[in-house]
Amino acid sequence: MEYRDILVVLEKEDGVISPLSTEMLGRAKYLASELNQNVIALSIGENISEMSKEAIYFGADKVVEVGNKILENYTTLAYTKVLDFILDKYLPLAVFIAATPNGRDLGGRISARRKIGLVADCIDIVLTDDKKEIKWIRPTFDGQLYADIRISTKPEIGTIGEGAFRPLKRDDTKSGEIVKEEVSLSSEDVLTVFLEQIKSDGEKEVSLTDAKIIVAGGMGLGEKENWHLVTDLAHELGAEVGATKDVVDLDWVPYKIQIGATGVRVSPKLYIAVGISGAIQHTAGMKTSDLIIAINNNPEAPIFKVAHYGVVGDLFEIVPRLTEKIREINNKI
Ligand SMILES: Cc1cc2nc3c(=O)[nH]c(=O)nc-3n(C[C@H](O)[C@H](O)[C@H](O)COP(=O)(O)OP(=O)(O)OC[C@H]3O[C@@H](n4cnc5c(N)ncnc54)[C@H](O)[C@@H]3O)c2cc1C
Protein backbone atom coordinates (compact mmCIF):
# COMPACT_ATOMS: atom_id res chain seq x y z
CA MET A 1 0.00 0.00 0.00
CA GLU A 2 1.34 3.43 -0.84
CA TYR A 3 0.80 6.04 1.81
CA ARG A 4 1.16 9.63 0.67
CA ASP A 5 0.02 13.18 1.47
CA ILE A 6 -0.51 14.88 4.81
CA LEU A 7 -4.01 14.98 6.22
CA VAL A 8 -4.95 17.84 8.55
CA VAL A 9 -8.10 17.39 10.63
CA LEU A 10 -9.67 20.85 10.82
CA GLU A 11 -11.44 22.33 13.81
CA LYS A 12 -13.80 25.26 14.07
CA GLU A 13 -13.60 27.90 16.78
CA ASP A 14 -16.45 30.36 17.21
CA GLY A 15 -17.89 29.21 13.89
CA VAL A 16 -14.74 29.72 11.81
CA ILE A 17 -11.59 27.72 11.09
CA SER A 18 -9.50 27.68 14.29
CA PRO A 19 -6.13 29.47 14.36
CA LEU A 20 -4.53 26.14 15.34
CA SER A 21 -5.93 24.50 12.19
CA THR A 22 -4.26 27.19 10.08
CA GLU A 23 -0.97 26.61 11.95
CA MET A 24 -1.19 22.86 11.26
CA LEU A 25 -1.88 23.56 7.59
CA GLY A 26 1.21 25.76 7.44
CA ARG A 27 3.46 22.99 8.76
CA ALA A 28 1.76 20.34 6.64
CA LYS A 29 2.37 22.44 3.53
CA TYR A 30 6.06 22.78 4.34
CA LEU A 31 6.52 19.03 4.87
CA ALA A 32 4.35 18.07 1.89
CA SER A 33 6.42 20.33 -0.39
CA GLU A 34 9.62 18.71 0.87
CA LEU A 35 8.13 15.32 -0.02
CA ASN A 36 6.55 16.50 -3.25
CA GLN A 37 3.16 15.53 -1.92
CA ASN A 38 -0.12 17.29 -1.14
CA VAL A 39 -1.93 18.62 1.90
CA ILE A 40 -5.44 17.27 2.32
CA ALA A 41 -7.67 19.00 4.88
CA LEU A 42 -10.51 17.08 6.47
CA SER A 43 -13.57 19.20 7.20
CA ILE A 44 -16.09 17.43 9.45
CA GLY A 45 -19.36 18.89 10.73
CA GLU A 46 -22.28 20.94 9.52
CA ASN A 47 -22.07 24.23 7.65
CA ILE A 48 -18.45 23.56 6.86
CA SER A 49 -18.10 25.07 3.39
CA GLU A 50 -16.52 28.30 4.70
CA MET A 51 -14.02 26.33 6.78
CA SER A 52 -13.13 24.27 3.70
CA LYS A 53 -12.49 27.38 1.60
CA GLU A 54 -10.37 28.90 4.34
CA ALA A 55 -8.32 25.70 4.52
CA ILE A 56 -7.41 26.16 0.87
CA TYR A 57 -6.50 29.82 1.43
CA PHE A 58 -4.21 28.66 4.26
CA GLY A 59 -2.39 25.99 2.25
CA ALA A 60 -4.53 22.88 1.65
CA ASP A 61 -4.32 21.50 -1.89
CA LYS A 62 -7.53 19.59 -1.46
CA VAL A 63 -10.33 19.44 1.11
CA VAL A 64 -12.39 16.38 1.92
CA GLU A 65 -15.75 17.38 3.38
CA VAL A 66 -17.91 15.11 5.46
CA GLY A 67 -21.05 17.07 6.25
CA ASN A 68 -23.87 15.66 8.36
CA LYS A 69 -26.24 17.06 10.98
CA ILE A 70 -25.05 14.29 13.32
CA LEU A 71 -21.56 15.78 13.11
CA GLU A 72 -22.63 19.28 14.09
CA ASN A 73 -20.95 18.88 17.48
CA TYR A 74 -17.96 16.70 18.27
CA THR A 75 -18.74 13.21 19.56
CA THR A 76 -16.05 10.58 19.91
CA LEU A 77 -17.65 7.67 18.08
CA ALA A 78 -19.10 9.54 15.12
CA TYR A 79 -15.92 11.52 14.43
CA THR A 80 -13.77 8.42 14.87
CA LYS A 81 -15.94 6.57 12.37
CA VAL A 82 -15.50 9.37 9.85
CA LEU A 83 -11.73 9.59 10.32
CA ASP A 84 -11.41 5.80 10.14
CA PHE A 85 -13.25 5.79 6.81
CA ILE A 86 -11.13 8.64 5.42
CA LEU A 87 -7.86 6.97 6.47
CA ASP A 88 -8.90 3.78 4.64
CA LYS A 89 -9.87 5.67 1.54
CA TYR A 90 -7.08 8.26 1.26
CA LEU A 91 -4.15 6.40 2.89
CA PRO A 92 -2.34 9.52 4.11
CA LEU A 93 1.27 9.24 5.18
CA ALA A 94 0.74 11.47 8.21
CA VAL A 95 -2.21 12.96 10.06
CA PHE A 96 -2.12 16.20 12.06
CA ILE A 97 -4.77 16.58 14.77
CA ALA A 98 -5.21 19.60 17.06
CA ALA A 99 -4.10 19.01 20.65
CA THR A 100 -7.40 20.41 21.92
CA PRO A 101 -9.68 18.41 24.25
CA ASN A 102 -11.66 17.11 21.25
CA GLY A 103 -8.56 16.52 19.12
CA ARG A 104 -6.79 14.63 21.89
CA ASP A 105 -9.88 12.50 22.33
CA LEU A 106 -10.13 11.79 18.60
CA GLY A 107 -6.41 11.09 18.22
CA GLY A 108 -6.35 8.65 21.11
CA ARG A 109 -9.44 6.85 19.91
CA ILE A 110 -8.34 6.45 16.29
CA SER A 111 -4.86 5.38 17.34
CA ALA A 112 -6.31 2.70 19.64
CA ARG A 113 -8.90 1.57 17.11
CA ARG A 114 -6.38 1.10 14.30
CA LYS A 115 -3.51 0.07 16.59
CA ILE A 116 -1.26 2.74 15.11
CA GLY A 117 1.24 5.06 16.77
CA LEU A 118 0.55 8.62 17.84
CA VAL A 119 2.86 11.28 19.24
CA ALA A 120 1.03 13.78 21.43
CA ASP A 121 1.71 17.53 21.77
CA CYS A 122 4.39 17.83 19.11
CA ILE A 123 6.29 21.10 19.05
CA ASP A 124 8.17 20.31 15.85
CA ILE A 125 7.75 17.92 12.94
CA VAL A 126 10.66 17.52 10.54
CA LEU A 127 12.01 15.01 8.08
CA THR A 128 15.21 13.04 8.42
CA ASP A 129 17.99 14.13 6.04
CA ASP A 130 17.13 11.36 3.59
CA LYS A 131 13.43 12.38 3.83
CA LYS A 132 12.47 8.77 4.52
CA GLU A 133 11.21 9.27 8.05
CA ILE A 134 9.28 11.86 10.00
CA LYS A 135 10.77 13.08 13.28
CA TRP A 136 7.98 13.89 15.71
CA ILE A 137 9.50 16.17 18.33
CA ARG A 138 7.84 16.70 21.70
CA PRO A 139 8.92 17.96 25.10
CA THR A 140 9.62 15.33 27.70
CA PHE A 141 10.57 15.32 31.41
CA ASP A 142 8.33 18.37 31.87
CA GLY A 143 10.05 20.30 29.13
CA GLN A 144 13.66 19.70 30.16
CA LEU A 145 14.41 17.59 27.09
CA TYR A 146 13.01 17.20 23.61
CA ALA A 147 12.35 13.70 22.36
CA ASP A 148 12.69 12.75 18.68
CA ILE A 149 10.10 10.01 18.22
CA ARG A 150 9.59 7.86 15.13
CA ILE A 151 6.34 6.06 14.42
CA SER A 152 6.64 2.61 12.87
CA THR A 153 3.00 2.22 11.78
CA LYS A 154 1.02 4.04 9.09
CA PRO A 155 -0.53 6.51 8.89
CA GLU A 156 1.61 8.34 11.42
CA ILE A 157 -0.39 10.58 13.73
CA GLY A 158 0.63 13.61 15.73
CA THR A 159 -1.34 16.03 17.86
CA ILE A 160 -0.16 19.62 17.80
CA GLY A 161 -0.70 22.40 20.32
CA GLU A 162 -1.22 26.10 19.67
CA GLY A 163 1.75 28.28 18.79
CA ALA A 164 4.14 25.51 17.69
CA PHE A 165 3.94 26.55 14.04
CA ARG A 166 3.06 29.62 12.05
CA PRO A 167 0.24 29.70 9.53
CA LEU A 168 0.97 30.63 5.94
CA LYS A 169 -0.21 34.05 4.81
CA ARG A 170 -3.89 33.72 3.89
CA ASP A 171 -4.21 33.80 0.11
CA ASP A 172 -7.82 34.06 -1.07
CA THR A 173 -6.77 33.86 -4.72
CA LYS A 174 -5.68 30.26 -4.16
CA SER A 175 -7.94 27.50 -5.45
CA GLY A 176 -8.15 23.82 -4.62
CA GLU A 177 -10.36 20.81 -5.02
CA ILE A 178 -13.21 20.21 -2.56
CA VAL A 179 -14.46 16.61 -2.50
CA LYS A 180 -17.60 15.58 -0.64
CA GLU A 181 -17.62 12.19 1.04
CA GLU A 182 -20.61 10.36 2.47
CA VAL A 183 -20.09 8.33 5.62
CA SER A 184 -23.11 6.38 6.74
CA LEU A 185 -23.98 7.56 10.23
CA SER A 186 -27.01 7.06 12.38
CA SER A 187 -28.03 8.09 15.86
CA GLU A 188 -26.56 4.75 17.01
CA ASP A 189 -23.12 6.15 16.23
CA VAL A 190 -23.66 8.83 18.83
CA LEU A 191 -24.06 7.51 22.33
CA THR A 192 -23.96 10.94 23.93
CA VAL A 193 -26.23 13.93 23.41
CA PHE A 194 -24.79 17.42 23.14
CA LEU A 195 -26.97 19.72 25.24
CA GLU A 196 -25.21 23.07 25.37
CA GLN A 197 -21.81 24.70 25.47
CA ILE A 198 -21.04 26.52 28.72
CA LYS A 199 -18.16 28.99 28.93
CA SER A 200 -15.82 28.21 31.82
CA ASP A 201 -16.43 31.48 33.68
CA GLY A 202 -17.43 35.08 33.09
CA GLU A 203 -13.86 36.30 33.11
CA LYS A 204 -12.25 37.53 29.89
CA GLU A 205 -10.39 34.69 28.25
CA VAL A 206 -6.69 35.37 28.03
CA SER A 207 -5.78 35.23 24.36
CA LEU A 208 -2.02 35.02 24.59
CA THR A 209 -1.72 32.73 21.59
CA ASP A 210 -3.46 35.29 19.36
CA ALA A 211 -1.78 38.35 20.89
CA LYS A 212 0.14 40.63 18.54
CA ILE A 213 2.20 42.13 21.36
CA ILE A 214 3.21 40.51 24.64
CA VAL A 215 5.08 42.05 27.55
CA ALA A 216 6.37 39.26 29.76
CA GLY A 217 7.98 39.61 33.13
CA GLY A 218 10.34 37.47 35.15
CA MET A 219 12.09 37.26 38.50
CA GLY A 220 14.09 40.39 37.70
CA LEU A 221 11.02 42.29 38.93
CA GLY A 222 12.09 41.25 42.42
CA GLU A 223 8.71 41.20 44.12
CA LYS A 224 5.02 41.12 43.35
CA GLU A 225 4.61 44.82 44.23
CA ASN A 226 6.75 45.67 41.17
CA TRP A 227 4.65 43.63 38.75
CA HIS A 228 2.74 46.79 37.78
CA LEU A 229 5.83 47.82 35.76
CA VAL A 230 4.97 44.97 33.37
CA THR A 231 1.22 45.62 33.28
CA ASP A 232 1.68 49.41 32.90
CA LEU A 233 3.92 48.92 29.87
CA ALA A 234 1.53 46.32 28.44
CA HIS A 235 -1.40 48.69 28.95
CA GLU A 236 0.28 51.52 27.01
CA LEU A 237 1.20 49.15 24.19
CA GLY A 238 -2.23 47.46 24.07
CA ALA A 239 -0.37 44.22 24.80
CA GLU A 240 -1.18 41.01 26.64
CA VAL A 241 0.86 40.10 29.71
CA GLY A 242 2.93 36.93 30.08
CA ALA A 243 5.19 35.56 32.80
CA THR A 244 7.86 33.01 33.54
CA LYS A 245 7.17 29.87 35.56
CA ASP A 246 9.11 31.13 38.57
CA VAL A 247 6.83 34.15 38.79
CA VAL A 248 3.77 31.93 38.46
CA ASP A 249 5.09 29.54 41.10
CA LEU A 250 5.29 32.47 43.51
CA ASP A 251 1.61 33.21 42.81
CA TRP A 252 2.29 36.72 41.52
CA VAL A 253 0.17 35.89 38.48
CA PRO A 254 -2.06 32.98 37.38
CA TYR A 255 -0.72 29.91 35.60
CA LYS A 256 -2.73 30.67 32.46
CA ILE A 257 -0.25 33.42 31.52
CA GLN A 258 2.85 31.24 31.99
CA ILE A 259 4.84 31.14 28.77
CA GLY A 260 7.09 28.24 27.95
CA ALA A 261 7.41 24.53 27.50
CA THR A 262 4.98 23.82 30.33
CA GLY A 263 2.86 26.91 29.72
CA VAL A 264 1.46 28.64 26.64
CA ARG A 265 3.44 28.82 23.41
CA VAL A 266 3.23 32.18 21.71
CA SER A 267 4.36 33.81 18.47
CA PRO A 268 3.43 37.50 18.65
CA LYS A 269 4.77 40.21 16.36
CA LEU A 270 6.52 41.78 19.33
CA TYR A 271 7.67 40.08 22.56
CA ILE A 272 9.22 42.22 25.27
CA ALA A 273 11.00 40.16 27.94
CA VAL A 274 11.49 42.14 31.15
CA GLY A 275 13.88 40.69 33.75
CA ILE A 276 13.74 37.21 32.21
CA SER A 277 16.92 35.12 32.09
CA GLY A 278 15.88 33.10 29.03
CA ALA A 279 15.95 29.54 30.35
CA ILE A 280 15.39 26.95 27.63
CA GLN A 281 11.99 26.04 29.12
CA HIS A 282 10.91 29.67 28.71
CA THR A 283 12.36 30.32 25.26
CA ALA A 284 10.69 27.12 23.99
CA GLY A 285 7.44 29.01 24.30
CA MET A 286 8.35 32.37 22.71
CA LYS A 287 11.39 32.04 20.44
CA THR A 288 9.24 32.00 17.29
CA SER A 289 8.07 35.58 18.01
CA ASP A 290 8.72 37.96 15.08
CA LEU A 291 10.61 40.52 17.13
CA ILE A 292 12.03 39.91 20.59
CA ILE A 293 13.30 42.73 22.77
CA ALA A 294 14.96 41.77 26.05
CA ILE A 295 15.64 44.05 28.98
CA ASN A 296 18.10 42.50 31.43
CA ASN A 297 20.98 43.83 33.54
CA ASN A 298 23.15 40.80 32.88
CA PRO A 299 24.80 41.00 29.43
CA GLU A 300 25.45 37.23 29.61
CA ALA A 301 21.76 36.35 30.13
CA PRO A 302 20.73 33.61 27.66
CA ILE A 303 17.66 35.64 26.63
CA PHE A 304 20.01 37.80 24.53
CA LYS A 305 20.75 34.73 22.37
CA VAL A 306 17.16 34.67 21.10
CA ALA A 307 16.49 38.43 21.29
CA HIS A 308 16.67 40.60 18.17
CA TYR A 309 17.32 43.69 20.31
CA GLY A 310 18.76 43.69 23.78
CA VAL A 311 18.79 46.45 26.37
CA VAL A 312 21.42 45.78 29.03
CA GLY A 313 20.43 47.75 32.08
CA ASP A 314 18.28 48.07 35.17
CA LEU A 315 14.64 47.40 34.35
CA PHE A 316 13.58 49.67 37.23
CA GLU A 317 15.08 52.61 35.31
CA ILE A 318 14.32 51.52 31.76
CA VAL A 319 10.75 50.22 31.95
CA PRO A 320 9.12 53.25 33.65
CA ARG A 321 10.85 55.57 31.16
CA LEU A 322 9.75 53.43 28.23
CA THR A 323 6.18 53.33 29.53
CA GLU A 324 6.16 57.09 30.00
CA LYS A 325 7.49 57.71 26.48
CA ILE A 326 4.81 55.47 24.96
CA ARG A 327 2.15 57.17 27.09
CA GLU A 328 3.27 60.56 25.71
CA ILE A 329 3.02 59.25 22.15
CA ASN A 330 -0.40 57.72 22.85
CA ASN A 331 -1.64 61.02 24.27
CA LYS A 332 -0.63 62.84 21.08
CA ILE A 333 -2.50 60.42 18.81
C1 LIG B 1 10.36 20.92 34.28
C2 LIG B 1 10.48 22.39 34.14
C3 LIG B 1 9.58 23.08 33.34
C4 LIG B 1 9.66 24.48 33.24
N5 LIG B 1 8.77 25.17 32.44
C6 LIG B 1 8.90 26.50 32.33
C7 LIG B 1 8.02 27.27 31.51
O8 LIG B 1 7.09 26.75 30.87
N9 LIG B 1 8.19 28.61 31.45
C10 LIG B 1 9.19 29.26 32.14
O11 LIG B 1 9.29 30.48 32.02
N12 LIG B 1 10.03 28.56 32.90
C13 LIG B 1 9.90 27.22 33.03
N14 LIG B 1 10.74 26.55 33.85
C15 LIG B 1 11.64 27.30 34.72
C16 LIG B 1 12.92 27.75 34.03
O17 LIG B 1 13.86 26.71 34.05
C18 LIG B 1 13.49 28.98 34.71
O19 LIG B 1 13.70 28.68 36.08
C20 LIG B 1 12.60 30.22 34.62
O21 LIG B 1 12.19 30.44 33.29
C22 LIG B 1 13.37 31.43 35.11
O23 LIG B 1 12.49 32.48 35.28
P24 LIG B 1 13.01 33.97 35.26
O25 LIG B 1 13.69 34.24 33.97
O26 LIG B 1 11.84 34.81 35.63
O27 LIG B 1 14.00 34.02 36.50
P28 LIG B 1 15.57 34.04 36.59
O29 LIG B 1 16.19 32.91 35.88
O30 LIG B 1 15.87 34.19 38.03
O31 LIG B 1 16.00 35.35 35.81
C32 LIG B 1 15.80 36.65 36.25
C33 LIG B 1 16.58 37.57 35.31
O34 LIG B 1 16.31 38.90 35.67
C35 LIG B 1 17.51 39.64 35.53
N36 LIG B 1 17.46 40.79 36.42
C37 LIG B 1 17.54 40.80 37.77
N38 LIG B 1 17.39 42.05 38.23
C39 LIG B 1 17.23 42.85 37.15
C40 LIG B 1 17.07 44.24 36.98
N41 LIG B 1 17.01 45.08 38.02
N42 LIG B 1 16.97 44.73 35.73
C43 LIG B 1 17.01 43.90 34.66
N44 LIG B 1 17.17 42.57 34.76
C45 LIG B 1 17.28 42.05 36.00
C46 LIG B 1 18.61 38.68 35.87
O47 LIG B 1 19.84 39.06 35.25
C48 LIG B 1 18.08 37.36 35.35
O49 LIG B 1 18.57 37.12 34.04
C50 LIG B 1 10.67 25.16 33.95
C51 LIG B 1 11.58 24.43 34.71
C52 LIG B 1 11.49 23.06 34.81
C53 LIG B 1 12.51 22.32 35.65
Q: Where are the domains of the chain?
A: 6-189, 208-332
- pLDDT top residue among 252 and 193: 252
- Whether residue 256 has pLDDT greater than 70: yes
**Which H or E element spans position 281?**
helix 280-283
Amino acid letter, 185: L
Nearest CA to ligand 1 atom 11: 244
pLDDT score of 199: 67
Q: How far is ligand 1, taken at its centre, from the CA of residue 259, in Å? A: 11
Q: For residue 177, give the 3-state DSSP assignment.
A: strand
- Which atom of ligand 1 approaches the CA of 142 most closely? 1
> For 213-219, what is the mean pLDDT?
98
- Whether residue 39 has pLDDT greater than 60: yes
CB burial of 156-177 (b: ≥16 within 10 Å; e: otherwise) equals: bbbbbbbbbbebbeeeeeeebe
- Whether residue 268 has pLDDT greater than 60: yes
Please provide the average confidence, as pLDDT, over all residues in the chain.
93
For residue range 9-33, what is the model confidence (pLDDT) as tens digits?
999 988 899 999 999 999 999 999 9
pLDDT score of 203: 43
Q: Is the CB of 279 under 6 A from ligand 1?
A: yes
For residue range 40-60, what is the model confidence (pLDDT) as tens digits?
999 999 999 999 999 999 999
Q: Is the CB of 267 under 6 A from ligand 1?
A: no
pLDDT band at 193 (very low <50, low <70, confident <90, very high): confident
- pLDDT top residue among 186 and 7: 7
Nearest CA to ligand 1 atom 15: 245
> For 325-331, what is the mean pLDDT?
93
DSSP state of 143: G
What residues form the annotated binding site? Answer: 258-262, 275-282, 296
Least confident segment among 138-147, 252-261, 321-330? 138-147
Q: Is the CB of 314 under 6 A from ligand 1?
A: yes
- Whether residue 36 has pLDDT greater than 70: yes
- Whether residue 207 has pLDDT greater than 90: no
For residue range 111-150, what is the model confidence (pLDDT) as tens digits?
999 999 999 999 899 999 999 999 999 988 756 688 999 9
The neighbouring-strand residues paired with 136 are 125, 149
pLDDT score of 166: 86
Most informative mutation of 246, 300, 311 for ligand 1 (most atoms within 8 A of CB): 246
The Cα 114–Cα 247 span in angstroms is 43
- Are 39 and 6 contacting, i.e. CB atoms less than 8 angstroms apart? yes
The answer to whether the peptide bond before residue 268 is cis (omega within 30 degrees of 0) is no
The Cα 140–Cα 194 span in angstroms is 35
For residue range 75-116, what is the model confidence (pLDDT) as tens digits?
999 999 999 999 999 999 999 999 998 999 999 999 999 999
Secondary structure E strands in 49-115: 62-67, 94-98
- Whether residue 228 has pLDDT greater than 90: yes
Superfamily holding 208-332: TPP-binding domain (3.40.50.1220)
Q: Is the CB of 260 under 6 A from ligand 1?
A: yes
Q: How far is ligand 1, taken at its centre, from the CA of residue 296, in Å? A: 11
pLDDT score of 194: 84
The Cα 219–Cα 244 span in angstroms is 8
Taking Cα atoms as reference points, which of 259, 256, 234 lies closest to residue 245?
259
Secondary structure E strands in 2-52: 6-9, 12-13, 16-17, 39-45
Q: Is the CB of 175 under 6 A from ligand 1?
A: no
Max Cα separation, the chain?
66
pLDDT band at 333 (very low <50, low <70, confident <90, very high): confident
Q: How far is ligand 1, taken at its centre, from the CA of residue 177, in Å? A: 48
- Whether residue 161 has pLDDT greater than 90: no
pLDDT score of 200: 57
Most informative mutation of 144, 245, 257 for ligand 1 (most atoms within 8 A of CB): 245
Nearest CA to ligand 1 atom 50: 281
pLDDT score of 202: 44
The Cα 5–Cα 7 span in angstroms is 6
Nearest CA to ligand 1 atom 27: 219
Percent pLDDT > 90 in the chain is 82
Other C-beta atoms closer than 10 Å to the C-beta of 192 total: 11
The CATH number assigned to the domain with range 6-189 reads: 3.40.50.620
Q: How far is ligand 1, taken at its centre, from the CA of residue 244, in Å? A: 6
